Amino acid sequence: MRVLFILGSGGHTTRGLLLSKQNKEDSYFIIPWESKTTKAKVREKYFSVISPRFRAKDNRIMSGIRTIFLFLHSLIILFVVRPKIIISTGSGLTIPSFLIAGLLRIKTLYVESPSRIYRPSIAGSFLIGKVDMWLSSWSELANIYEKVEYRGMIV
Amino acid sequence: MIFITVGTSLPHDELIRHMDELVKKGRIKDKIIAQIGDGKYIPKNFRYARFIKNMEDGYNRADIIVSNCGAGTILENVTKGRRLIVIQNPDVTGGHEWELVKKMEDGGHLIWCKNIDELADCIDVAKDTLFNMFIPERLDIVLTIKELISR
């Protein structure tokens, strides 16, 4: 069984990699093309994609074009890898793959950042109710939203 | 030794510059090592590295860790009961990291330095404070995947 992890930069990547180390199935990764640190940590079975927005702010047209490109790129990756599950730790690369996964009957697991105790992130709140499992690192958030579950923290 | 880390996603020049001045003025006399990321400001009065592969080693050797509000750094250190001072990076999106910092501050797991001008005082306080270790429940991904497949 293949599990595809969507990484990002900084903490998103650290948490995704911690989960992949626990995972006993075959792990694959989507990583942002511009993050050298992430690339150095993953080393194999990864696909680099261009993020809709780099950390620096730039114009909306470019970021729109990159979003469309990310949708197409994610679609190709999902077709090639055919994972049973996609897991995201909340990076900006998440939403396209997660929306496509629904069509391909791939299960989706979203794990919110532990920095979110009472309010979900923008990507996170968009995905509540649209994923197969939405996990918070805190029981507080799970008590506020019906479709949010708490099963502990990534450590 | 005071270990300063800004994380890998965003630099925090303000923190490094302020610390550099504190050392220059003699206000801070401890040995300092800093991880400055892609920061533009280069400290003149202590050793630094842009990225450090073995952060764990730095944390273990430090008497006090000064960090920005990155959730990863915070959790990595409060779960080990280390002396941690957190200072907010104004460039981080939305300031949502406050939720975690506040929660950890309430539990006595870290010292939250709200203003960079108070940093030197926070370091003094950290030396005489007992830090409570934070012990979270661990997410078991193997069990979680099993349940997810059966849904």
Tell me the three state secondary structure of residue B147. Answer: helix
Q: Check A155 against B148: CB less than 8 A apart.
A: no
How many other CB atoms sit within 10 Å of the CB of residue B43? 19
Give yes or no for B8 touching A (CB within 8 A): yes
- Sign, CA dihedral B90-A111-A118-B114, equals negative
Q: Do B149 and A133 touch (CB under 8 A)?
A: no
pLDDT at A57: 61
Residue A20 Cα, gap to closest chain B Cα (Å): 9
pLDDT of residue B151: 87
Residues of chain A with pLDDT under 50: none
**Count of all residues that appear for chain B in the document:** 151
Which pLDDT score is estimated for A128? 97
Interchain pair B7, A132: CB under 8 A: no
Query: How many Cβ pairs closer than 8 A exist between chain A and B?
Result: 91
Q: What is the pLDDT of residue B88?
A: 81
What ipTM does this complex have? Answer: 0.91
CB B139 within 8 A of CB A151: yes
3-state SS, residue B113: strand
B139 touches chain A (CB under 8 A): yes
Residues lower than pLDDT 50 in chain B = none
Do the chains contact at A107 and B151, CB–CB below 8 Å? yes
B120 φ, ψ to 5°?
A: -60, -40
Please state, rounded to an integer, the average pLDDT across all residues of chain A: 92
